[in-house]
Structure 1
Amino acid sequence: MKLLAYFDAFLKNTVNLNQTRLGLLDDRVRVITSTLKGDAQIGELYVDHSPQGSWAHRTIIKPLNNHEFDADILLQLNEVDSWDPKDYLRETRAAFKRSTTYRSKVTKKNRCCRITYAGDCHVDVVPYIVLGDGREVIVNYAENEFEETNPQGFTDWMKEKDDLTNGNLRRVIRLLKYVRDYKQTFTIPSVILTTLLGERVQAWDAVSRYSDTPTALKTILSDLSSWLDLYPLMPPLPDPGCPQTTFNHRWNQPQYENFRKKIKLYSDWAREAYDEDEKAASLAAWQRIFGTSFQKPSVAEKSLAASPQTPSPRGDRAPHEQYIEELGFSWKGGYSLRIDAEVLPHKGFRNGPLRRLRKVRTLQDLEFSITTDVPEPYELYWKVRNRGAEAEDHGQLRGDIFLDEERARKRRESTRWKGHHYVEAYIVKNGKVLATDHHEVEIM
């Protein structure tokens, strides 16, 4: 059984970080950044700061087992030509050491300065620089090197995936973080867990496959288990916002192997709990995963539990729009597919990866390409869906699905209509859809 009210109460009372602590986190970050802006050295270099990671993605959970919850902020600094990469981290720590408030709270890590509030949380302050050549980087202190990053691109990718699930992806991530910290049967950095779960979200029949939290949990765990089955050895784990950077250095093969086994186990348990028709037996099955804190909600919580809402993540249907699940194919899944979009050079306009630029102007060209682990041969289908008043007024909402007959594995489009549009790709083999992806396109 789904036990929707139980999931709502469990998330609210046990898993989610409460608003009071989030407010306290805001206050602490405000004081941290005020201190840095007022420092004689770092203050001259300060450009901006922004949340990143779990805080930006809204997937922070309450700490368990005497752990602190953590939050990351990017500290954007101006480039200093004479500095080595490690100097940015060293000088940030020095600024904290000059503060009576933070000198006893700061610890230098390899990529950040950590401010610890004992017994509650820590805030990781990550120096972040946009270099003269346009690269966005953070610091690897041990190697005295810059590492390319695209934090806003990752956050935008996460939001796209979460929107496809009507907000249920972030709830699933919180639940799996809770399982990790509660059971302590597997180890995985949060950024890798977020990436692996987010990459499993598919455009196929999203309305029903992610209709509510338990359904999304069962679906995503099953798809993740199927994908992990393909890889006895840890595969490359690229950053969705910056594909040339991987997260593999943050994990190891034994940890990966153990995670692979545990996900298969918990996926089986979730399916059993979901499919069980008898309420008490279903509750006991869910508690096998989450523990006894997953329990019957109060009468008040039951009455306040929101009914599942499952509007189409793609918006209203266009006049000639097609959906892949209606074209006679069946779903198999188990593989991955990623769309990358490149804004092509055009005089007077910015060009480069769309996830880094975030938006594109009209009258530019885009090239979409795919990366997949589906073995050849296979068929690739594309869908381009325009949204907004301009496209609608010109009868250009589109939405038809077409085969990549030339097997180019690329698609070129021009930006004509302002609005929030999207492109989807689907890989079909032997009449079964093995993987899909969805890429938003915002045209100014």
Structure 2
Amino acid sequence: MNHPSLFNDFLNETVNLNDTRVKDLETSIEAIKNAVRASDWQPHLNGWMAHGSWAHQTIIKPVDNGEFDADLIVFVEHVDGWSAATYIDELYRAFRANPTYKEMVNRSSHCVTVSYANDKKIDVAPCLTNRTNALEVCNRTADQFEQTEPKQYTEWLVQKNGYSGKNSFRKVTRLVKYLRDIKGRFTCSSVLLTTLLGYMISEADQGSADFADTATSLKTVLGRLDDELQKHATKPTVANPFLKSEDFAATWTEEQYTNFRDKIHTYREWIDDAYGEQDRSESIAKWRRVFDDEFAKGVAAEEGKSVSKALVASFRTTLAEASQFTGDLVDAIKRFGARVLPVSFDKKPYMEAPKWKSSGQNVAVVMRADLHGSKYGTQKVRAVQPLEPLQPGYWLHFKAVTSTGLPFDPSDYKVMWRVTNTDEDAANHNQLRGGFEKPESDNSRWESLQYRGVHLVEAFVIKKRDDKIIGKSPAFRVMIE
């Protein structure tokens, strides 16, 4: 499913750089321009240009709430006798002479960086307009001038965004940057990543259903990128579209490229799976596997908290004998039985989607639960059945066995447990859970009985040799009074 409203909220609330920081950036940029104009830096100024993610409107909020980067080009005329390094060194000296920026600046290969503690960094890069017939930036480290085409490159990205429609290219780029930063599983500079994604869009895409909404656009572009990467076992050249001599992939190692190729392939599979899933809750869970728990965070938490209210309101209208019922879900099950629970009850949007691939097998997995007075208690009170009313304060010991009652050998298999709580009591204690839990040494699992409601425990059996799922138990419904 494509969940357009959830993607819109995710972009606005989590991914996009918030308006306050954008406005503050613009204020800081103007102050830097005024400082340079008022300084004794010798070059004649021919204008300014925003560059990088800020100019391309693909800048994102730092996932760790730390600093973000913005690029500012200052176009200047050549000063006779100055080398490439001189432009950077003299600009640095000019900033150091300004009391406001004296302790905020440092030099790098191509720019002077102004750092605002715990907020942002602004790179100011000189670009020569008339030393030759081409625009040139300054490489201080090599003391060389390098040809560049920032204006045409930015226009190219604007064109790609226009082909995709609905600002789709920019949204997809932000999402993939977020994926890179939140997962931390691959290395790829922003200019390289943006260029790779840009090459995946053409004029033929105008008005295409492949870019109907954000999720569809993401699926389209990542799918095309994966297909292209799979054609290249070794690192390809990723040229600046208007300066073929500039290879944005030049700093990539073969190892980094191979890892990037593998990760994009995995994320493409996850995205296709989430997009193709027709069950709403499972689709949300699978999108959360892609983007982690910030995606649909509020929706998932609210749906978990309001389980009782939603179901009680529903069966009041469908069960004649329940029209005047005033209790919660636990009371309803005790009075009317399990029929008040829909089949979809076992699927919650905040459940973590499995990261293990399926082996293609479908081995039957049977769940057994025993009641104990304490964790690791040697004497069980009794065996427990699903939806049997249980009192808080006890412990349940879960075991996953085959259809013949045999355990899964821990030397060959691991059993991962997905434990999902529901309803207000668990939500109020921030314990809706829904993630995977490790087993005991014998692949069993202990759980305490704490929160009123109906909760779910599932066992996923994974073969250690290939790390693939061979079977999964039905959800065991635990009801705590």
In the TM superposition, 1:135-214 aligns within 5 A as 135-166=134-165, 167-206=167-206, 207-214=208-215
Output the CA distance in 2 between the equivalents of 1:288 and 1:14.
Answer: 16
**Cα offset for 1:205?**
4.8
Cα deviation digits, residues 244-274 of structure 1 (max 9, x gap): 2222333222211111110000001000000
- Does structure 1 conserve the Cα–Cα contact (< 8 Å) formed by 2:77 and 2:131? no
Cα deviation digits, residues 32-59 of structure 1 (max 9, x gap): 11111111134x5222111001111101
Gaps in structure 1 of 5+ consecutive residues: 299-444
* Cα distance in structure 2, aligned partners of 1:64 and 1:162: 24
Q: Give CA-to-partner distance per residue, 1:1-53, whole Å, 9 cap, x none.
A: 001110000000000011111110010011111111111134x5222111001
Q: Compute the displacement of 1:85 (Å).
A: 1.0
Q: Which residue of 1 aligns with 2:87?
A: 88
Q: How does 1:385-400 map to 2 (within 5 A)?
A: none
TM-score by length of 2: 0.60
Change over 3 Å in CA distance of 1:94–1:249 after alignment to 2: farther
Distance in 2 of aligned mates of 1:252 and 1:133: 33
CA distance in 2, matches of 1:297, 1:201: 33
- Assess if the C-alpha contact under 8 Å between 1:239 and 1:245 holds in 2: yes
Measure the CA separation in 2 of the matches of 1:119 and 1:232: 40
Alignment of 1:192-341 (within 5 A): 192-206=192-206, 207-295=208-296
- Residue 106 of structure 1: CA displacement? 0.4
CA distance in 2, matches of 1:228, 1:67: 32
CA contact (8 A) 2:2 2:275 kept: yes
Distance in 1, Cα, partners of 2:260 & 2:241: 20
Which segments of structure 1 move beyond 4 Å, counting only runs of 4 or more?
none
Alpha-carbon distance in 2 for matches of 1:248, 1:140: 18
CA contact (8 A) 2:163 2:205 kept: no
For residue 48 of structure 2, give the secondary structure of its aligned residue in structure 1. strand
CA distance in structure 2 between the partners assigned to 1:98 and 1:203 by the alignment: 49
- Aligned twin of 1:390: none
Could you say which residue in structure 2 is the equivalent of 1:38?
Answer: 38
Residue 296 of structure 1, CA deviation: 5.8
**C-alpha displacement of 1:204:** 3.7
Which range is displaced more, 69-78 or 127-136? Answer: 127-136
Residue 146 of structure 2 aligns to a residue whose secondary structure is strand
Residue type of the alignment partner of 1:5: S
Q: Deviation per CA, 1:157-202, whole angstroms, max 9, x where unpaired?
A: 0011100111100000000111111111111110000000010113
Compared CA separation, residues 27 and 69, structure 1 to 2 (3 A): same
**Cα distance in 1 between the residues matched to 2:242 and 2:220:** 24
One-letter code aligned to 2:240: D
- Does structure 2 retain, via aligned residues, the 8 Å contact 1:9–1:297? no
Matching residue's letter, 1:241: F
Give per-residue Cα distances to partners, 1:324-362, cap 9 Å, x unaligned.
Answer: xxxxxxxxxxxxxxxxxxxxxxxxxxxxxxxxxxxxxxx
- 1:50-61 alignment runs, 5 A limit: 50-61=49-60
Paired residue type of 1:254: E
Moved more, 173-182 or 244-253: 244-253
Q: Secondary structure at the match of 1:248?
A: coil
CA distances 1:66-98 after superposition (whole Å, capped 9, x unpaired): 531110000111111211111111111111111
Task: Answer with 162-171 or 205-214: which moved more.
Answer: 205-214
The whole-number CA distance in structure 2 between the counterparts of 1:205 and 1:132 is 40
Change (3 A) 1:154 1:205: closer
What is the rounded CA distance, in whole Å, between the counterparts of 2:8 and 2:215 in structure 1? 10
Mapped partners of 2:123, 2:41: distance in 1: 20
**What are the residue-to-residue correspondences of 1:341-380 with 2, within 5 Å?**
none
The runs of 5 or more residues in structure 2 that have no matched partner are 300-481
Give the percent of matched residue pairs that are identical in Structure 1 and Structure 2.
Answer: 36
Q: Tell me the amino acid that sits aligned with residue 174 of structure 2.
A: R
Q: State the Cα deviation string for residues 204-259 of structure 1 (Å, max 9, x = none).
A: 45421111110010000000001001112111111123222222333222211111
Aligned to 2:439: none
Aligned partners of 1:189 and 1:250 also within 8 Å: no
SS at match of 1:156: helix
What does residue 69 of structure 1 align with?
Answer: 68
* RMSD, aligned CA: 1.5
For residues 110 and 130 of structure 2, the distance between their equivalents in structure 1, rounded to whole angstroms, comes to 17
Task: Specify whether residues 127 and 99 from structure 1 end up closer, same or farther in structure 2 by C-alpha distance, changes over 3 A only.
Answer: same
Structure 2 distance, partners of 1:147, 1:232, is: 30
Aligned with 1:186: secondary structure?
coil
Specify the structure having the higher radius of gyration (Cα): 2
Q: Which amino acid aligns with 1:242?
A: L
Q: Distance in 2 between matches of 1:203 and 1:84?
A: 42
